[in-house]
């Protein structure tokens, strides 16, 4: 059955114009009121993206983050990166001497985060924090999985700082950070079992020699290590579920244990959506991070999807592992990007609950028109698929009419 024609006029009436993606442009009163209504009580806000390489979507997310920080009061931002690596970015936004461009360009992190757009975001965060008391600063975290060597470095640094006399642990940490993968895995499994009771035994003593924040990060390391063990030993078919389960746990930790009242999460639409992938969509199957966060937090988790109409985006060629810049094709008739491209509203934003209360729009969405899913990898010339959707996997949906590729640091000089 063909998708019904979208009710363009009703969509237009439901949409609030954000009027562009420039982070420097303040959000006007009407749009701010709509966003505030959606975000005000959220503990966790997930900001998605159709593509990891769409400049306009990165800039819109930067703009929304400014609003969430300055207007709503969020003081924690978390990116889809290793929590241990993210501490270097946190040091930069807190006023440290880190060279942020060199940090991103040369870091062992996924390519989407090595962009000028994120440098702009982190520079704004640094300026926001300048002169603020420590408890009112915006902090940066990661919620992805970690690695054996980074956990080893984090724990070794902590144990040095508290002058811990734990030779057996230090020996295993040396092995964990070494090149023998089998020995590292054995050491990891030993540490996962040994470290929690060690913190119970010595935590009060160590707390007198370090900050509460440093102790909280150190106590988190056994969990990060267990996640890495699970991911390392899993079959490929299970890795999406294991990774997203870990990301949901790490995002929840920000509010449960890290002393943060509310946090903003930056990830792909696939991860932030309340969804369960099947059939190997984009090569993945399983429950998403967003689905698991919604199960734990209910209405206190607010996912925002961001759609895309046209333009070019940055991706990686799976065969050459080099950059490529595919073009977003003309959206299928009746699809979600087709509909939002036709409503003539500058960067429209909608509450998905409100859409489902409008009968013409609700009827159209009930037929599950398609929306884009774009992978960061191009395989056999393809990186774009479509997902049938009534948009209920998101609480809000923003639409970017067109984009350029992100400014990747490895390509810009």
> 44 with 293: CB under 8 angstroms?
yes
| pTM to 2 decimal places | 0.95
- Give the H or E element holding residue 167: helix 167-176
Which pairing describes strands 301-311 and 396-403: parallel, antiparallel, or unpaired?
A: parallel
Residue 378 is predicted with a pLDDT of 84
Residue 277 is predicted with a pLDDT of 82
Q: How far apart are CA 301 and CA 248, in angstroms?
A: 11
CATH 3.30.420.40 fits 8-145+234-403, yes or no: no
Residue 258 is predicted with a pLDDT of 83
In the chain, what are the domain boundaries?
8-145+234-403, 146-233
**pLDDT of 304 over the 60 cut:** yes
Q: What is the pLDDT of residues 21-58, one digit of tens each?
A: 999 999 999 999 999 999 989 999 999 999 999 999 99
Residue 325 is predicted with a pLDDT of 93
Residue 196 is predicted with a pLDDT of 98
Q: What is the pLDDT of residues 130-186, one digit of tens each?
A: 999 999 999 999 999 999 999 999 999 999 999 999 999 999 999 999 999 999 999
Residue 285 is predicted with a pLDDT of 77
CB neighbour list of residue 321: distance below 8 Å, 6 or more residues apart: none
282 confidence band (pLDDT: 50, 70, 90) = low
Nearest to 188 by CA among 172, 171, 165, 167: 172
413 confidence band (pLDDT: 50, 70, 90) = very low
**pLDDT of 376 over the 90 cut:** no
Nearest to 286 by CA among 243, 228, 250: 243
């Amino acid at each position: 059955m063909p998708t019904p024609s979208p009710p363009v006029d009703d969509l237009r009436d439901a949409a609030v114009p954000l009027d562009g993606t420039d982070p420097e442009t303040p959000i006007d009163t009407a749009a701010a009121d709509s966003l505030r209504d959606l975000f005000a009580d959220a503990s966790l806000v997930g900001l998605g993206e159709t593509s990891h390489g769409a400049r306009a979507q990165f800039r819109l997310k930067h703009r929304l983050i400014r609003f969430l920080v300055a207007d709503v009061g969020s003081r924690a931002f978390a990116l889809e990166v290793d929590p241990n690596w993210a501490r270097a970015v946190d040091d930069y936004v807190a006023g440290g001497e880190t060279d942020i461009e060199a940090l991103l360009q040369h870091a062992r992190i996924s390519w989407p985060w090595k962009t000028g757009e994120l440098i702009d975001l982190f520079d704004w965060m640094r300026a926001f924090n300048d002169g603020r008391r420590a408890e009112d600063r915006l902090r940066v975290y990661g919620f992805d999985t970690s690695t054996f060597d980074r956990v080893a470095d984090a724990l070794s640094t902590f144990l040095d700082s508290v002058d811990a006399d734990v030779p057996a642990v230090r020996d295993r940490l040396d092995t964990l950070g070494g090149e023998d993968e089998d020995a590292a895995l054995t050491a990891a499994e030993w540490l996962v079992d040994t470290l929690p009771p060690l913190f119970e035994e010595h935590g009060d003593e160590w707390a007198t020699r370090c900050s509460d924040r440093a102790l909280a990060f150190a106590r988190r390391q056994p969990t990060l290590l267990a996640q890495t063990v699970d991911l390392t030993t899993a079959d490929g078919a299970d890795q999406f579920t294991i990774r997203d389960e870990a990301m949901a746990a790490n995002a929840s930790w920000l509010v449960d244990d890290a002393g943060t009242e509310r946090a903003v999460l930056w990830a792909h639409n696939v991860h932030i959506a309340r969804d369960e992938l099947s059939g190997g969509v984009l090569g993945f199957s399983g429950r998403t991070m967003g689905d698991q966060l919604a199960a734990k937090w209910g209405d206190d988790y607010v996912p925002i999807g961001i759609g895309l109409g046209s333009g070019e985006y940055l991706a990686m060629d799976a065969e050459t592992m080099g950059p490529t810049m595919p073009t977003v094709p003309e959206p299928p008739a009746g699809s979600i990007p087709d509909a939002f491209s036709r409503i003539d509203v500058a960067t429209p934003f909608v509450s998905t609950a409100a859409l489902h209360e409008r009968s013409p729009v609700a009827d159209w969405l009930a037929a599950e028109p398609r929306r884009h899913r774009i992978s960061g990898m191009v395989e056999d010339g393809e990186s774009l698929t479509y997902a049938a959707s009534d948009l209920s996997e998101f609480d809000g949906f923003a639409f970017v009419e067109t984009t350029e590729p992100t400014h990747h640091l490895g390509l810009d000089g």
